[in-house]
Amino acid sequence: MVVPTLAEMNARGEKPEVLFWVGCAGSFDDRAKKITKAFVKILQKAEVSFAVLGTEESCSGDPAKRAGNEFLFQMQAMSNIEVLNAYEVTQIVTTCPHCFNTLKNEYPELGGNYQVMHHTQLLKKLVRAGKLRVEGDTFRGKRITFHDPCYLGRANSVYEAPRELLKKLDAELVEMRNCKSNGLCCGAGGAQMFKEPEAGNKDINIERTEQALEVQPDIIAAACPFCNTMMTDGVKNKEKEDLLPVKDIAELIAEAEDL
């Protein structure tokens, strides 16, 4: 697929409306790359003017900050801000709630002021503006449960955008025992993604997967590449991977639209 970079557009004297911040998972992780591509397909279908940073993108610094390395975080943040400001970026969309949170809440104080959206927020906007039509057939009547990412939900109070999109799929949205502000973490946050868990009697993703299984869904919808990995592992652990796919909302929409 052809994905323009800011550098290329800049060389042509063009400026996109929105920067798609892909994130490390979205760039390198095999599972997350599928989400990235699904989202790009939707952006192209909806004729959104966008670009990516490509090799000029670097880690937002979130895992470093949550691990306690404020120094590394601020180094990352300030050099990213330098790049973003040089391109006069005003709007950013990202498929990763961790990048979303950091760019939105922790960059302004360091000189980076942008309008930052999670991809579900942008998709909701596109649907409402009539630029993106979501037809339901593929998922009609399917039971979908949505796992709230902590950094989208509790951290930033975004609960409705992903749900509104799922309802557009004509699917039956079934809520877990712990949802929205009471949502249970998948176990990846706070840099846990990159380390072994402390000793306990269960892994957090297993606990969360069990909560999902309680409502007998056909699909677990996620909105974060890390949650996606954790829930996928949880479903595998329960030997249900053939029956119960874990999909990002962008993937569901792309699939429904046959993109």
Partner 1 sequence: MNLIPNVIFAVLLVVAVGIFTKNIRQIIANIQLGKSTDRTDQKSARWRNMARIALGQSKMVRRPVAGILHVVVYLGFILINIELLEIIVDGLLGTHRVFAPYLGSFYNFLIGSFEVLAFLVLVSVIVFWLRRNVLRIQRFWKAEMKGWPKLDADLILYFEIILMGLFLSMNATDALLQQLGAVHYQQAGYFPVSQYLMPLFDNLSESTLIVLERTFWWSHIIGIFIFLNYLYYSKHLHILLAFPNTFYANLMPKGAFRNNATVTQEVKLMLDPNADPYAAPTTEAEPDKFGASDVMDLNWVQLMNAYTCTECGRCTSVCPANQTGKKLSPRKIMMDTRDRLTEVGNQQRKKTGLSDGKQLLDDYISREELWACTSCNACTEACPVDIDPLSIIMDMRQYLVMEQSAAPSDLNAMMSNIENNGAPWPFNNQDRLLWAQEN
Structure tokens given for 139 = 């998922």
Binding mask 158-187 for partner 1 (x = CB under 8 A): -----------------------xx-xx-x
Taking Cα atoms as reference points, which of 130, 142, 131 lies closest to residue 167? 142
Q: How many residues bind partner 1 (CB under 8 A)?
A: 73
The whole-angstrom separation of Cα 89 and Cα 130 is 25
For tokens 């939900």, what's the residue? Answer: 153
CB of 5 to partner 1, least distance (A): 7
Site for partner 1 contains 11 (CB under 8 A): no
Query: Pick from 43, 93, 96, 188: which binds partner 1 (CB under 8 A)?
Result: 188
Among residues 121, 156, 209, 229, the one that binds partner 1 under rule CB under 8 A: 156
Site for partner 1 in 79-138 (CB under 8 A): 79, 101, 104-106, 109-110
34-73: contacts with partner 1 (CB under 8 A): 36-37, 40, 52, 54-55, 57-59, 61, 63-72
Residues 197-236, one symbol each (x = binds partner 1 by CB under 8 A, - = not), give xxxxxxxx-xxx----------------------------
What is the rounded end-to-end Cα distance, in angstroms, of the chain?
12
Q: Does the footprint of partner 1 cover residue 196 (CB under 8 A)?
A: yes
Q: Which of 14, 17, 28, 216: binder of partner 1 (CB under 8 A)?
A: 28
Cα–Cα nearest to 63, from 114, 23, 120: 23
CB closer to partner 1 out of 107 and 139: 107
Q: Assess contact for 149 and 179: CB atoms under 8 A.
A: no
**Site string (70-89) toward partner 1, x via CB under 8 A:** xxx-xxx-xx----------
Using the CB atoms, write b or e for 8-33: b if 16+ within 10 Å. ebeeeeeebebbbbbbbbbbebeebe
* Minimum CB distance to partner 1 smaller for 168 or for 208: 208
**Rounded Cα–Cα distance for residues 200 and 212 (Å):** 21
Give the residue with the Cβ less far from partner 1, 106 or 170. Answer: 106
Residue 141 buriedness (CB in 10 A; 0-12 / 13-18 / 19+): exposed
